[in-house]
Structure 1
Amino acid sequence: MSDTILDLLERNADHAERFADRFDDVQDAQHPEAVTVCCSDSRVLQDAIFGNEDPGYLFTCGNIGNRVVQRTEAGEVVSGDVLYPLAHTGTETAVVVGHTGCGAVTATYDDLTEGLSEPPGIEHCIGLLKPHLEGGVESLPDDVGRAGAINRLVEYNVDRQVEVLVESDDVAEDVEVVGAVYDFQDVYGGQRGELHVVNVDGETSVETLRAEYPDMADRVHRLWEY
C-alpha cells in the first residue's frame, strides 16, 4: 500500500472524529443553500474556499473547466450534476467558480489557436468548452500576452457557463446565478485565495454590479469588459 493511501486514510480518520456529530440533521435528506461548480484543479479547494465545514450546506460539483454543460442525444443541456440540487433539493443559488491560470481554459485556447492532441477523455472535455470560448479567443485584445489572454478567457468561460444556466428552461427563473473567479496568482490585486465576483444573473458590468449590490461592491472585479 502506498504512503499516499495510508496518509489519506489517516486524514480521513481525523475527519471522521471531528465530524462525527455533524450529520445528525442531514442523514436522511439534504437542502443545500447553494450549488457550486468549480474547476477540479487541485489548487481549488472547493469547500475550503467558502470556509465550509457543515455537511449539507453546499452541493459541490467539480470538473475541469467548471462546466455546467453536458452533451446528450437531445443536444447540449445543463449537466445533471448541477441541475439535480436545483430541481430536487430546493436550492435557489448557483455559483460558477473559475480560477486564474486554469489548465482547461489554457488547453482550449491552445486547441483553438494551434490544435492539440489529447486522449479522448480530455478531448471530450475540451470539446465541451471550445464552442463557448471561440468568441472570446476572437475578441482578445492584440496587446495581451499569453497569461493575460488565459485569465481573460477564464472570465469569459465563467460568463458563458452562467449564461447557460440563466437561459436554460430547466433552471427555474428565481434561481440566482453568480459567476466568480478564484485568484491564487495575484492577478486581481487582492489576497491570494480571494473570490472576485464577475457576473450576477448575466450582468457583467462592474459599475452596474457594484451599484446594484453595494454590500459586495469591494468584491466585484473584472480584468475584461468586452
Structure 2
Amino acid sequence: MRDTIVELLAANAEHASEFADRFDDVQDAQHPEAVTVCCSDSRVLQDLVWGNEEPGRLFTCGNIGNRVVQESEAGPVVSGDVLYPLAHTGTEVAVVVGHTGCGAVTATYDELTGGIDEPAGIEHCVSLLADELEAGVEALPDDIDRADAVNHLVEYNVDRQVEFLKESDEVPDDVTVVGVVYDFQDVYTDRRGEVHVVNVDGERDVATLCQEHPETEDRIRRRWSY
C-alpha cells in the first residue's frame, strides 16, 4: 500500500476517535444551514475555510471552477449536487466560493484567448466555464497582465454562478445566494486564507453591500467593477 494511503487511514482513525459522538443527531437525516460550492483545488480546504467541524452543518460541493451549472438534454441547469439541499433539506443559503489563482479560470482564459489542448473531461468542464466567462474576457482592461486577468475573472465567474442560481426557477425564491473569493495569495489583503464577500443575491456594488450588510462591512471588497 502506498505511504499516502497508510497516512490517510491513520489520520482517519484519529478522526473517527474524535468524532464518534458527533453523529448522534444526524444519523438519520440532515438539515444543513448552507450549501457551499467550492473549487476542488487542493489548496481550498472546503470545510476548514469556515472552521467547520460539525457533521450536518454544511452541504459541501466541489468541482473545478466552482460551477453551479451542468448540461442536460434541456440545456444548462443547476447542478443536482447543488440543488439537492435547496430542494430537499430546507437549506436556505448557497455560497459560491471562488479562489485566487484558480486553475480552472486560468485554463478558461487561455482557451478563450488562444486555445488549450486537454483531455476531453477537462475540456468539457472548461467549456462550461467558457460559456459564462467569454463576455468577461472581452471586458477586461487592455493593460492587464495574465495573473491580474485571471483574478478579475475569478470574481466574474463567481458573479455568473450566483446569477445562474438566482435566475433559476428550480431554486426557491427565499434562498440567499452569496458569492465569495478565498484568498491565499495576498491579492485582497495580507491575511491569507480569508474569504471576501463580492456578491450577495446579485448585488456587487461594494458601497451598497456595505450599507445593506454593515455587520460584515470589513469582509466586503472587490477588485473589479464592470
Q: TM-score range by the shorter chain?
A: over 0.9
- Partner in structure 2 of residue 164 of structure 1: 164
Q: Shift of the alpha carbon at 1:144? A: 1.3
2:83 maps to a residue whose letter is: L
Q: Does the residue aligned with 2:108 lie in a helix, a strand or coil? A: helix
**1:57 counterpart = 2:57:** yes
Taking every aligned residue pair, what percent have the same amino acid on both sides? 74
Counterpart CA distance in 2 for 1:20 and 1:72 is 40
Counterpart CA distance in 1 for 2:77 and 2:54 is 30
Counterpart CA distance in 2 for 1:121 and 1:181 is 25
- Partner in structure 2 of residue 200 of structure 1: 200
Name the TM-score, length of structure 2 as normaliser.
Answer: 0.99
Deviations 1:155-203 (A, max 9, x none): 0000000000000000011000000000000000140000000000000
Counterpart CA distance in 1 for 2:189 and 2:200 is 21
Q: Which runs of 4+ in 1 moved over 3 A?
A: none
- Partner in structure 1 of residue 27 of structure 2: 27
- Partner in structure 2 of residue 129 of structure 1: 129
Unaligned runs of at least 5 residues, structure 2: none
2:57 maps to a residue whose letter is: Y
Deviations 1:16-63 (A, max 9, x none): 000000000000000000000000000000000000000000000000
Q: Does the residue aligned with 1:91 lie in a helix, a strand or coil? A: coil
Counterpart CA distance in 1 for 2:223 and 2:4 is 39
- Partner in structure 2 of residue 113 of structure 1: 113
Matches within 5 A, 1:203-214: 203-214=203-214
Count of equivalent residues: 226
Matches within 5 A, 1:76-91: 76-91=76-91
Counterpart CA distance in 2 for 1:104 and 1:118 is 12
- Partner in structure 1 of residue 147 of structure 2: 147
